Amino acid sequence: MKTKLTFLLLFSFLQVFSQSKINVKPRTAININQNWSFSKDPKAQGYALLKYTPVNIPHTWNAFDVLDDVPGYYRGAGYYKKKLQLQPSWKTKKIYLDFGGANQETEVYLNGKKIGQHIGGYTGFMVALNDLKFNGNDEIIVKVDNSYNEAIAPLTGDFTFFGGLYRNVSLVIVNDAHFAEEQYGTNGVYIHAENVSQQNATIQVKGNIADHTGKQLKVITTIIDAVANKVGESSIVGVNAFQLPQIQIKNPILWSPERPYLYKTITKLIDPTTNKVLDEIKINVGLRYFSFDAEKGFFLNGKQTKLIGASRHQDFAKMGNAVPSALQVKDVELLKEMGGNFLRVAHYPQDQAILDACDRLGILASVEIPIVNEITESEAFYNNCKAMQVEMIKQGYNHPSIIMWAYMNEVLLKMRYGNDPERKKTYLKNIENLAQQLEDLTRKMDPTRYTLMSNHGDVNGYTNAGLTKIPMVVGWNLYQGWYGGKSEDFGPNLDKIHAAMPDKPLMVTEYGADVDPRIHADLPVRFDKSLEYGMDYHQIYIKAIMQRPFIAGAAAWNLSDFSSETRSETMPGINNKGLLTLDRKPKNTYFLYKANFSPVPYIKIGDGSWTLRSDVKTKQNLSVISNLDSGTLTVNGKTYEKKAFKETLANWQIDLKLGKNTIIAKGYKNGKLFTDQSTIDFVLQPQAFLNGTHSFNILMGSQRQFIDDQQRIWLPSKAYEQNGWGHLGGEAFKIKNSGRMAYGSDKNILGTQNDPIYQTQQVGINGYQLTVPKGKYEITLHFAELMGNGIQTNLPYNLDSLIAEGKDVPPQRIFDAYLNGKLIIKALNLAAKYGVAQKVERKFECTVSDDKGIQITFKSVEGKPVLNALQVKKVK
Ligand code: GCB
| CA distance to 165, 176, 527, 787, 803, per residue, from 741 (Å) | 42, 66, 9, 14, 13
Query: C-alpha angle with apex 657: 654 to 663, nearest 5 degrees?
Result: 55
Determine which of 67-71, 180-184, 310-314, 453-457 has the lowest per-residue pLDDT on average: 67-71
CATH number of the domain within which 460 lies: 3.20.20.80
| Confidence (pTM) | 0.94
Q: How confident is the model at residue 188 (pLDDT cuts 50, 70, 90)?
A: very high
Residues 6+ apart with CB under 8 A from 250: 199, 200
Task: Catalogue the E-assigned strands of 545-688.
Answer: 551-556, 562-563, 574-575, 603-605, 612-615, 619-626, 630-635, 638-639, 643-644, 649-655, 659-669, 672-684
Nearest to 134 by CA among 81, 84, 80, 82: 84
Atom number, ligand 1, closest to the C-alpha of residue 483 = 13
Best of 480, 557, 568, 738 to mutate for ligand 1, by most ligand atoms within 8 A of CB? 557
Helix (H, G, I), strand (E, B) or coil at 834: helix
269: β partners: 219, 279
Query: C-alpha angle with apex 528: 522 to 531, nearest 5 degrees?
Result: 60
The answer to whether residue 11 sits within a structural domain is no
Say what the pLDDT of residue 686 is. Answer: 67
The CB of 797 under 6 Å from ligand 1? The reply is: yes
Peptide bond into 517 cis (omega under 30): no
pLDDT of 17 higher than 80:
no
| CA distance to 83, 87, 117, 187, per residue, from 133 (Å) | 12, 12, 21, 25
% of the chain surpassing 70 pLDDT:
93
pLDDT of 684 higher than 50:
yes
Say what the pLDDT of residue 608 is. Answer: 72
Say what the pLDDT of residue 824 is. Answer: 98
Atom number, ligand 1, closest to the C-alpha of residue 514 = 12
Sheet containing strand 27-31, strands side by side: 27-31, 169-174, 94-99, 125-128
**Do residues 320 and 388 both lie within one domain?**
yes
Q: How confident is the model at residue 739 (pLDDT cuts 50, 70, 90)?
A: low
pLDDT of 774 higher than 60:
yes
CA of 584 to the centre of ligand 1 (A): 19
Identify the helix (H) or strand (E) that includes residue 307.
strand 307-312
The CB of 596 under 6 Å from ligand 1? The reply is: no
Q: Which of 580, 600, 620 is the last residue of a domain?
A: 600
**Do residues 453 and 518 both lie within one domain?**
yes
The answer to whether residue 291 sits within a structural domain is no
**Do residues 129 and 99 both lie within one domain?**
yes
Neighbouring CB atoms inside 10 A of 711's CB total: 9
Task: Catalogue the E-assigned strands of 640-724.
Answer: 643-644, 649-655, 659-669, 672-684, 695-699, 704-707, 713-716
The CB of 550 under 6 Å from ligand 1? The reply is: no
Q: Give me the mean pLDDT over the 609-637 stretch.
A: 92
Atom number, ligand 1, closest to the C-alpha of residue 577 = 12
The answer to whether residue 22 sits within a structural domain is no
**Identity at 694, one-letter amino acid code:** H
| Closest residue CA from atom 7 of ligand 1 | 477
pLDDT of 793 higher than 60:
no
The string over 554-587, giving b where at least 16 C-beta atoms fall within 10 Å of a residue's C-beta and e elsewhere, is bbbbbbbbbbbbbbbbbbbbbbbbbbbbbebebb
The answer to whether residue 215 sits within a structural domain is yes
**Do residues 390 and 509 both lie within one domain?**
yes
**Do residues 680 and 697 both lie within one domain?**
no
**Do residues 758 and 713 both lie within one domain?**
yes
Atom number, ligand 1, closest to the C-alpha of residue 157 = 9
Sign of CA dihedral 861, 862, 864, 868: negative
Nearest to 868 by CA among 742, 683, 727, 737: 727
141: left (phi over 0), alpha (psi -120 to 50) or beta: beta
Task: Note the pLDDT tens digit of each residue in 307-365.
Answer: 999 999 999 999 999 999 999 999 999 999 999 999 999 999 999 999 999 999 999 99
Task: Catalogue the E-assigned strands of 480-557.
Answer: 506-510, 519-521, 551-556
CA of 780 to the centre of ligand 1 (A): 38
Task: Please state, in angstroms and rounded to a whole number, the distance separating the CA atoms of residues 788 and 687.
Answer: 38
Average pLDDT score, the chain: 92
Better pLDDT: 45 or 325: 325
The CB of 561 under 6 Å from ligand 1? The reply is: no
CA of 468 to the centre of ligand 1 (A): 19
CB 144 within 8 A of CB 164: yes
CA of 558 to the centre of ligand 1 (A): 9
The answer to whether residue 3 sits within a structural domain is no
The CB of 569 under 6 Å from ligand 1? The reply is: no
Say what the pLDDT of residue 810 is. Answer: 79
Q: Which of 634, 652, 684 is the last residue of a domain?
A: 684
Task: Note the pLDDT tens digit of each residue in 550-602.
Answer: 999 999 999 999 999 989 899 999 999 999 999 999 999 999 999 999 999 99
CATH number of the domain within which 230 lies: 2.60.40.10
pLDDT of 3 higher than 50:
no
The CB of 146 under 6 Å from ligand 1? The reply is: no
The CB of 575 under 6 Å from ligand 1? The reply is: yes
Say what the pLDDT of residue 586 is. Answer: 96
The answer to whether residue 300 sits within a structural domain is no
Task: Note the pLDDT tens digit of each residue in 705-732.
Answer: 999 999 999 999 999 988 888 999 999 9
Neighbouring CB atoms inside 10 A of 29's CB total: 14
Nearest to 396 by CA among 445, 361, 437: 445
The answer to whether residue 399 sits within a structural domain is yes
Say what the pLDDT of residue 239 is. Answer: 82
**Do residues 253 and 369 both lie within one domain?**
no
CA of 556 to the centre of ligand 1 (A): 11
pLDDT of 737 higher than 90:
no
Say what the pLDDT of residue 214 is. Answer: 80
CATH number of the domain within which 151 lies: 2.60.120.260
**Do residues 580 and 481 both lie within one domain?**
yes
**Do residues 518 and 661 both lie within one domain?**
no
Total structural domains within the chain: 5
Say what the pLDDT of residue 566 is. Answer: 87
DSSP per residue over 380-430, as a string? HHHHHHHHHHHHHHHHHTT-TTEEEEEEEESTTSS-TTTT-HHHHHHHHHH
The CB of 410 under 6 Å from ligand 1? The reply is: yes
**Identity at 386, one-letter amino acid code:** K
Task: Please state, in angstroms and rounded to a whole number, the distance separating the CA atoms of residues 31 and 465.
Answer: 46
Best of 345, 740, 797, 799 to mutate for ligand 1, by most ligand atoms within 8 A of CB? 797
pLDDT of 14 higher than 90:
no
% of the chain surpassing 90 pLDDT:
84
Task: Note the pLDDT tens digit of each residue in 796-822.
Answer: 555 554 444 445 677 889 999 999 999
Task: Note the pLDDT tens digit of each residue in 135-145.
Answer: 999 999 999 99
CA of 158 to the centre of ligand 1 (A): 6
**Do residues 458 and 496 both lie within one domain?**
yes
**Do residues 484 and 572 both lie within one domain?**
yes
CA diameter of the chain: 105
Task: Please state, in angstroms and rounded to a whole number, the distance separating the CA atoms of residues 596 and 590.
Answer: 10
The answer to whether residue 605 sits within a structural domain is no
The CB of 557 under 6 Å from ligand 1? The reply is: yes
Better pLDDT: 4 or 257: 257
**Do residues 75 and 161 both lie within one domain?**
yes
Q: Give the dihedral of Cα atoms 415, 421, 427, 432; nearest 10 deg.
A: 90
This complex has an ipTM of 0.99
The CB of 373 under 6 Å from ligand 1? The reply is: no
Q: Which of 665, 684, 703 is the last residue of a domain?
A: 684
CA of 293 to the centre of ligand 1 (A): 26
CATH number of the domain within which 738 lies: 2.60.120.430
The domain of 151 spans 27-179
CB 382 within 8 A of CB 437: yes
